[in-house]
Amino acid sequence: MTVSKNSGNLVEHLLAGDRRAAARLITMVENETDDHHEIMRRIYPNTGHAMILGVTGAAGVGKSSLTDHVIGKLREQGKTVGVVLVDPSSPFTGGAFLGDRIRLQRHARDEGVFIRSMASRGYLGGLSRATYDVIRIIEAMGRDVIIVETLGAGQDEIDVIHIAQTCLLVVTPGMGDDIQAMKAGLMEVAHIVVLNKADLEGTDTCLRHLQATMDVARFDEGAWVPRIVATVSVASKREHIQGLDELMAAIAEHQEYLHKNEAIDRVKFQRIEQELGLIFKDALQKLVLKGLKGTGKKKKYIQKIMEGKSDPYSVVEEVMKTYILSREERQT
């Protein structure tokens, strides 16, 4: 069965669960082809029902190996899984090494797992509008759970909290990640803090620090208190892998909490709010930049500012007036 490149066709196949269609549509959405908006419009109504797990943390903490295990556990539960792995693109060449997949290859032939690697393409911290769209596409294809894995260490970079219902922050002992994370206030932002490589020295100290941070933080009545789970996701011997069942239990607990308290609605609200914001930003930028670029005005404005004859705020006000007012004028 040949899947044609016609996007309408592709969307149909996607909604019927076709992987190839999903793969192609994701590419089109990443590359912002002409019918990108039309595609998203058609897909959107079929999304919003999957469980979304976020996995974030600094490089080297073992996110991928954890994701690998979580996928395995979910599959044991009979759930279908979609995975989005976001890696940073080089700010200089735009290239990217999407190497995390290597750790998930044992799922490569499992029909119930769909894995897609994405380069951040300029968005440090990982979550561009494209990532939101890609997750919607995978949802529309039909997956029970979607795992989004991103690089994140600072508060700005924990973007994934906006999209994930349950957010896992992965740290390791003795590398200062725990301290960094605590400083950045991430402890309160993540739903589950995973202390991976818990077989290393310094684990006990780290656990104590984490617990202490949790104890001092203020949580509202009935609010979710972040769980701390110690895991060992990589070991040369199977028997040394630990903490996975506890992790799955914590995830299930949080999901239950969300659904029981209808906090799930707030989460869905936030996700859409984020999307809206990003799409707006994108659209406005395109609109304005298109116009400025075409007439060479951008360069002229910048030159003006450099010569001290203007400032960025004035420029923006002027441009906004021109573009938005002129539309209003056109309507009347």
Partner 1 sequence: MSKKRKKRIKVLITKVGLDGHDRGAKVIASLLKEAGMEVIYLGMYQTPEGIVKTAMDEDVDVIGVSYLSGEHLVFTPKIVEEMRKNNLDDVLLIAGGTFPVEDIPTMEEMGIDRVFRAGTLSGEIMEYINKNVRES
Partner 2 sequence: MDEARKGKKTSQREVDWDNYLKAYYEKPASFKSWSGYDLKDIYTPRDRVKEDYHRNVADAGTYPFTRGIHQNMFRGRLWTKREVVGIGSPEDTHARLRYLFEHGGSGLNTIADVTYEMGLDADHPWAVNEVGLTGVNITSIKDMETLTKDIPLDKVSWSLITASTAASVTMAQYVAVAENGGYEPAILRGSIQNDPIHFRYCGFRPACPLDLSIKLGADVMEYCTRRLPKWYYTTVNMYDLREQGITAPQEVAFGFGIAMCYIDELIRRGLDIDEFAPRFTFYVSCHIDLFEEVAKIRAARRMWAKLMKEKYGAKHPKSMQFRFAVHTAGCSLVPQQPLNNIVRIAYEALAAVLAGVQSLHCCSYDEPMCLPTEEAHLQALRTQQILAYETGVTNVADPLGGSYYVETLTDELEEESWKIMKQVEELGGMEEAIRTEWLDRQFEAEAVKRQKELDGGEKLVVGVNLFTTEQEKETPLGIQRVSEQSARKQIEDVRNLKRNRDMAKLSDAIKRLRDDAGEGKNVIPAMVQATQAFGTTGELLGIVREVFGYPYDPMETVESPFG
Cβ-based nearer residue to partner 1, 132 or 173: 132
Using alpha carbons only, give the angle 204, 229, 107 rounded to the nearest 5 degrees.
125
Query: Which region, judged by CB under 8 A, interacts with partner 1, from 31-39, 62-70, 170-178, 207-215?
Result: 31-39
Contact of residue 236 among partner 1, partner 2, none (CB under 5-8 Å per partner type): partner 2
Contact of residue 238 among partner 1, partner 2, none (CB under 5-8 Å per partner type): partner 2
CA distance 15 to 22: 9
Amino acid of residue 2: T
The yes or no reply on residue 285 touching partner 1 (CB under 8 A) is no
CA distance 25 to 29: 6
How many residues make up the chain in this entry? 332
Restricted to residues 112-141, the positions that interact with partner 1 (CB under 8 A) are 114-117, 119, 121
Task: Give the containing element (helix H, strand E) for 200.
Answer: none
Q: How far is the CB of 40 from partner 2 (least distance, A)?
A: 40
The yes or no reply on residue 144 touching partner 1 (CB under 8 A) is no
Q: Are 187 and 156 in contact (CB under 8 A)?
A: no
Cβ-based nearer residue to partner 1, 19 or 297: 19
Token reading at 274:
């984020």
DSSP 281-324: HHHHHHHHHHHHHHHTHHHHHHHHHHTTS--HHHHHHHHHIIII
Which spans of this chain sit near partner 2 (rule: CB under 8 A)? 236-240
Q: How far is the CB of 130 from partner 1 (least distance, A)?
A: 8
The yes or no reply on residue 294 touching partner 1 (CB under 8 A) is no
Helix (H, G, I), strand (E, B) or coil at 230: strand
Residues that bind partner 1 (CB under 8 A): 2-3, 5, 7, 19-20, 22-24, 26-28, 30-35, 89-90, 93-99, 101-102, 105, 108-109, 114-117, 119, 121
